[in-house]
Structure 1
């Protein structure tokens, strides 16, 4: 299992994948908005999205788990 973590604090602007989706390494999973910039958070490994830990509009801190990929 791989935990996808926020690289910086910000708001979840858009969730690009759904639970059950297959993802590849470096594929966008979530887009954060911070300081009026959009920051894509990508999958560190390929697999299936087992759980999304955030919803659009949520605020996350650096290091928070956004999704779990198995």
Structure 2
């Protein structure tokens, strides 16, 4: 499993991915909002979304995992 992590302190504005979705590197998973800017959290690797670890409106800290990706399943 690989975690997609927040790169900045922010509010989870929108969750784009759903559990089971197939994703590839750079695919947007979650949009964070900080200081009126939208910052996407993207998939770091090919795989399937295993678990969404946050909810909309939640505050996350830099480095917090937001989505868990199962990279053992062929993408």
State the TM-score, normalized to the length of structure 1.
0.97
Unaligned runs of 5+ in 2: 71-75
Unaligned runs of 5+ in 1: none
User: Where in structure 2 are the equivalents of 1:6-45 lying within 5 Å?
Assistant: 6-45=6-45
Q: CA RMSD in A?
A: 0.5
Give the distance between the partners of 2:4 and 2:41, measured in 1 at CA: 8
Moved over 6 A (4+): none
Work out which of the two has the higher radius of gyration on C-alpha atoms and give 1 or 2: 2
Shift of 1:46: 1.0
How many pairs align?
A: 70
